[in-house]
């Protein structure tokens, strides 16, 4: 296994999960990481998780020759770092709840309250119960990955000072619905309906489904012996199925409870329905996709089980010694000049490629008119509207700053131009099951035959090898199998998917690509990078396996309550709005008790007598983390985001002006780099890419157009 950041030196002077995970990712990629012991409180103190996150790091004084310096804390209250001087060329990345600027800079916060601000809780207000947070602190893990990405991307320059706002990262995870009302003005807020089917009870356990497309729903109906549901317009979408959930659950249960988990997995796989057993800290190590890949291994110091690194690096071609690289112009984005062939679809892969585009790369998103990116089909417009596929909120959110090329790879000329594009690219990315690219000879070995120094990033759900290699998977099934879903929801109800895995896998894939790019700059050789989405999910749910194997404790769903003596809850205010409050430290709990003249558990009785704005003002004055439970539909109106320019106003060819999220990486001094363009329309750049870049003759161009190898219209008008 290659370690592309070998020779890079890092100082980790952070506290909390986010910084520790950033350091771990850099160490796993080959960097030498020195951890500076904090002088004050670290939220990881006393947790087995700390031994997992800090494994492989050195303990000692700051390295004066460090290439990367990580500072900051999950709660913003980072401890001072003694005797730490920044040398010229060191990249400094600071992690904090809100960043260093804007009206909320320095304000107390926890992941719980940041989830409330970002729209995460609001999407889980169901069955007359309070909104519930995503368990397991996914925004902290994602922020760590974002910090590692930013640091690695800027290597080789003249040094950079960057900041990662956990609030902005949380918005990247949960804030994409803000594009829905922009694309469909006047459209009522959709019902907050969980996936159905999702996590369901079989005869001997629970199974998780990921039903995304119309074909998958049709096949699922036939599998559970309910063919009459196929044409039932009441049940064609999640909201409709949730409205009629008693009928649907009864029908599903009648079939599932007659079959074991193993039987359900076998049947669903025959129908190519995404399905997994539901995992938790106790059971995950025995699930076949993890057991066959030996995903979990003993921690060398403590002996508990932990997931191995989710990114696997292998060299491509023969590395040639590279001479000293000239410092890159700090005024230009760090990936300027890098060309990316983006063969990805849906969310995780396109987001990974978008992050590279926002860092300056030239990204070409490849689709075909017969098989467009599936996320285009999640449109707010009905298929009877002209070019309805251009109104997909998530597609607009994760494909800015890209160019679009359509190619039918089943046609020899279309395949030839795909090969030309790969030969002319520095990075090739794809996220299909392995058989798809193998069919066209565009897998890792195929790319290596075309170009020996490319960085190839492959993102299969369950890996390039193993018994599940050809199974499809979506973020729901990744969260179900890994234990992420296990910790979200109420103890007396089924687990809920928090919908974070796609974006988090995308950040990891972008980090892997950047590591490969930096290695190529130093050695001249390419990299083959495999990222198994199921292992990314296992990485951010690592504490469950660590706790079970090391302490015999199975971590469970707790609703909105927290572990380790932290008080947090969601309470209703007089104006009927919800307020999320977290008193994480003993000092915060004392201040809250003194203010209420009662224990923190009496917070609900206090809040119901006041409007939410007064509650929020009072708690902030006490330096206690608090937040309004806000709809993601309005996230671009947040004053902190507006002050920091997190959303950019872009003009789309058809949809007009849209406010879209940017990258959750910002220079500490100066404005945030903005996306260059809105998401492209289907095939918008066919001519300029094929003729101007790839050298297609006029005759080839006419044949490509006339035969339908390229186009700007979806063939057959398919829908999800």
Between CA 710 and CA 720 the distance in angstroms is 22
Q: Is the pLDDT of residue 87 over 80?
A: no
Between CA 569 and CA 561 the distance in angstroms is 6
Residue 228 is classified by DSSP as G
Closest CA to 142 of 557, 475, 500: 500
Given this model, what pLDDT does residue 64 score? 86
Between CA 193 and CA 124 the distance in angstroms is 8
Q: Is the pLDDT of residue 625 over 70?
A: yes
Residue 141 is encoded by which pair of tokens? 């893990």
Other Cβ atoms closer than 10 A to 254: 12
Residue 275 is encoded by which pair of tokens? 């399905």
Between CA 480 and CA 496 the distance in angstroms is 9
Residue 354 is encoded by which pair of tokens? 């978008």
Q: Is the pLDDT of residue 301 over 90?
A: no
The answer to whether 23 touches 14, Cβ cutoff 8 Å, is yes
Q: Is the pLDDT of residue 327 over 60?
A: no
Other Cβ atoms closer than 10 A to 382: 9
Q: Is the pLDDT of residue 334 over 80?
A: yes
In the predicted model, what is the mean pLDDT of residues 49-75? 93
Strand, coil or helix: 600:
helix
Q: Is the pLDDT of residue 401 over 90?
A: yes
Closest CA to 124 of 685, 498, 604: 498
Rg, the chain, Cα only = 25
Mean pLDDT (the chain) is 93
- Residue 719: pLDDT band by 50, 70, 90 thresholds? very low
Q: Largest Cα–Cα distance of the chain, in whole Å? A: 82
Between CA 107 and CA 165 the distance in angstroms is 12
Closest CA to 10 of 147, 139, 113, 141: 147
Residue 643 is encoded by which pair of tokens? 């002050």
Per the omega criterion (within 30 degrees of 0), is the bond before 710 cis? no
Tens of pLDDT along 656-704?
999 999 999 999 988 888 899 999 999 999 999 999 999 999 999 999 9
- Residue 325: pLDDT band by 50, 70, 90 thresholds? low
Q: Is the pLDDT of residue 477 over 70?
A: yes
Q: In terms of pTM, does the model score above 0.75?
A: yes
Taking CA atoms, 584 is separated from 83, 96, 423, 590, 684, in Å, by 29, 16, 53, 11, 50
Q: Domains in the chain, start-ordered, CATH in brackets? A: 316-465+500-531+678-717 (3.40.50.10540)
Q: Range with the lowest mean pLDDT among 81-95, 103-117, 192-206, 331-345?
A: 81-95
Given this model, what pLDDT does residue 516 score? 97
Given this model, what pLDDT does residue 715 score? 82
Between CA 45 and CA 48 the distance in angstroms is 9
Which of left, alpha, beta for 708 (phi over 0: left; psi -120 to 50: alpha)? left
Closest CA to 493 of 206, 111, 209: 206
Residue 110 is encoded by which pair of tokens? 């926890």
Given this model, what pLDDT does residue 319 score? 64
Residue whose pair of structure tokens reads 């790969």 in the numeric block: 422
What is the Cα 123 distance to its own chain's centre? 17
What is the Cα 537 distance to its own chain's centre? 10
Which of left, alpha, beta for 576 (phi over 0: left; psi -120 to 50: alpha)? left
In the predicted model, what is the mean pLDDT of residues 615-635? 96
Q: Is the pLDDT of residue 216 over 50?
A: yes
The answer to whether 114 touches 166, Cβ cutoff 8 Å, is yes
Given this model, what pLDDT does residue 671 score? 83
- Residue 321: pLDDT band by 50, 70, 90 thresholds? low
Residue whose pair of structure tokens reads 């806000």 in the numeric block: 630
Between CA 700 and CA 705 the distance in angstroms is 9
Between CA 701 and CA 422 the distance in angstroms is 18
Closest CA to 57 of 13, 24, 83, 81: 24
Burial (Cβ within 10 Å: 0-12, 13-18, ≥19) of residue 656: exposed
Q: Range with the lowest mean pLDDT among 74-78, 543-547, 583-587, 631-635?
A: 74-78
Between CA 706 and CA 720 the distance in angstroms is 27
Q: Is the pLDDT of residue 718 over 50?
A: no
What is the Cα 376 distance to its own chain's centre? 19
Q: Range with the lowest mean pLDDT among 46-60, 174-188, 563-577?
A: 174-188
Residues of the chain above pLDDT 90, percent: 85
Q: Is the pLDDT of residue 3 over 80?
A: yes
Burial (Cβ within 10 Å: 0-12, 13-18, ≥19) of residue 609: exposed
Q: Is the pLDDT of residue 720 over 60?
A: no
In the predicted model, what is the mean pLDDT of residues 123-141? 93
Q: Is the pLDDT of residue 302 over 60?
A: yes
């Amino acid at each position: 296994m290659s370690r592309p950041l070998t020779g890079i030196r890092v100082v980790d002077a952070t506290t909390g999960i986010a910084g520790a995970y950033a350091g771990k990712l850099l160490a796993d990629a080959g960097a030498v990481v020195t951890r500076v012991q904090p002088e004050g409180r670290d939220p990881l103190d006393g947790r087995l998780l700390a031994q997992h996150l800090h494994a492989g790091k050195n303990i000692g004084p700051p390295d004066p020759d460090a290439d990367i310096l990580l500072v900051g804390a999950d709660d913003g209250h980072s401890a001072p770092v003694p005797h730490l001087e920044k040398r010229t060329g060191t990249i400094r990345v600071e992690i904090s709840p809100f960043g260093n600027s804007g009206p909320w800079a320095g304000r107390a916060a926890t992941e719980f309250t940041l989830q409330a601000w970002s729209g995460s809780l609001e999407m889980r207000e169901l069955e007359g119960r309070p909104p519930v947070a995503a368990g397991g602190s996914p925004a902290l893990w994602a922020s760590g990955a974002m910090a590692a990405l930013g640091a690695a991307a800027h290597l080789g320059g003249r040094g950079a000072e960057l900041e990662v706002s956990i609030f902005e990262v949380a918005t990247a995870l949960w804030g994409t619905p803000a594009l829905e009302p922009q694309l469909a003005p006047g459209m009522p807020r959709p019902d907050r309906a969980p996936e159905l089917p999702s996590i369901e009870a079989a005869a001997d356990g629970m199974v998780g489904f990921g039903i995304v497309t119309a074909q998958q729903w049709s096949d699922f109906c036939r599998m559970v012996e309910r063919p009459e549901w196929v044409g039932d317009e009441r049940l064609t979408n999640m909201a409709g199925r949730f409205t009629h959930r008693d009928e649907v659950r009864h029908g599903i249960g009648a079939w599932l409870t007659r079959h074991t988990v193993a039987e359900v997995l076998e049947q669903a796989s025959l129908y190519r329905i995404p399905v997994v057993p539901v995992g938790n800290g106790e059971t995950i190590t025995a699930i076949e996709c993890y057991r066959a890949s030996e995903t979990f291994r003993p921690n060398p110091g403590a002996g508990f089980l932990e997931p191995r690194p989710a990114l696997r690096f292998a060299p491509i071609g023969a590395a040639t010694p590279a001479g000293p690289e000239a410092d890159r112009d700090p005024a230009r984005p760090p990936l300027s000049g890098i060309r990316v062939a983006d063969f990805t679809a849906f969310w995780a892969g396109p987001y990974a490629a978008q992050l590279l585009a926002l860092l300056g790369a030239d990204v070409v998103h490849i689709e075909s008119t017969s098989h467009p990116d599936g996320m285009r089909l999640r449109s707010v417009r009905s298929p009877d509207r002209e070019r309805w596929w251009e109104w997909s909120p998530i597609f607009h959110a994760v494909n800015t700053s890209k160019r679009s090329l359509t190619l039918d790879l089943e046609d020899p000329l279309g395949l030839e131009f795909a090969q030309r594009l790969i030969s002319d690219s520095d990075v090739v990315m794809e996220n299909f099951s392995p058989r798809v690219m193998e069919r066209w000879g565009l897998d890792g070995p195929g790319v290596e035959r075309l170009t020996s120094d490319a960085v190839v990033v492959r993102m299969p759900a369950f890996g390039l090898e193993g018994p599940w290699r050809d199974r499809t998977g979506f973020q729901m099934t990744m969260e179900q199998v890994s234990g992420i879903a296990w910790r979200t929801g109420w103890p007396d109800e089924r687990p809920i998917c928090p919908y974070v895995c796609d974006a988090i896998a995308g950040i990891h894939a972008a980090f892997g690509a950047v590591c490969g790019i930096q290695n190529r700059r130093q050695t001249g050789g390419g990299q083959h990078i495999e990222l198994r989405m199921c292992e990314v999910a296992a990485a951010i749910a690592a504490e469950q396996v660590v706790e079970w194997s090391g302490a015999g404790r199975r971590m469970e769903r707790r609703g909105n309550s927290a572990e380790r003596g932290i008080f947090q809850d969601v309470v209703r205010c007089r104006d009927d709005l919800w307020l999320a409050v977290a008193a994480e430290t003993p000092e915060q709990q004392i201040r809250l008790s003194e203010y209420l003249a009662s224990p923190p558990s009496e917070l609900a009785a206090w809040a119901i007598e006041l409007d939410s704005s007064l509650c929020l003002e009072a708690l902030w004055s006490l330096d206690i983390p608090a937040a309004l439970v806000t709809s993601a539909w309005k996230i671009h109106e947040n004053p902190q985001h507006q002050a920091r320019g997190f959303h950019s106003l872009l003009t789309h060819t058809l949809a007009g002006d849209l406010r879209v999220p940017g990258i959750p990486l910002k220079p500490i001094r100066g404005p945030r780099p903005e996306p260059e363009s809105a998401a492209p329309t289907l095939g918008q750049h066919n001519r300029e890419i094929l003729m101007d870049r790839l050298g297609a003759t006029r005759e080839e161009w006419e044949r490509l157009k006339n035969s339908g190898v390229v186009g700007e219209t979806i063939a057959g008008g398919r829908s999800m």
